[in-house]
Copies of this chain bind each other. A is one copy, B any other.
């Protein structure tokens, strides 16, 4: 996932550096983010992980996400969490495809959040999803999109 994200980021622009920090498990991510913000001088972080499909893994993902939330608030900087749950895909092939696609789409969001936030407002309410096909905006009875 990291390679997909890095590849996508470099395809969007230049003038930034990517620092990579690998941890053994997803619950090790939050403190790594804190270290990257404070000692690695990062402005934004992509947190990539693949939680398993068992209940204990779901709990780990929740705790990891809660820690990621806390670091963002302490540092007042965004962390884009990119978790692909093993049970989101029907087989390994789809899992590989989904991981690559979600990492790339979140890389675009990460880039825009830092360098081009106006693009995000333009897409708000459009029902964009990271990985699977976009859901599309909700439509009202007159056929007008709920997106404004």
Contact = CB atoms under 8 A, between A and B. Distances in A.
Interface of A: 1-4, 20-25, 27-28, 30-32, 34-35, 38, 55-56, 58-74, 76-81, 85, 88, 92-93, 95-97, 99-100, 106, 109, 113, 117, 120-121, 123-125, 130, 138-141, 146, 148
Contacts of A79: 31
B20 A146 contact: no
Nearest to A7: B148
10 contacts: A1-B146, A2-B148, A22-B121, A22-B124, A28-B78, A31-B72, A31-B73, A34-B76, A38-B76, A56-B85
Contacts of A80: 24, 28
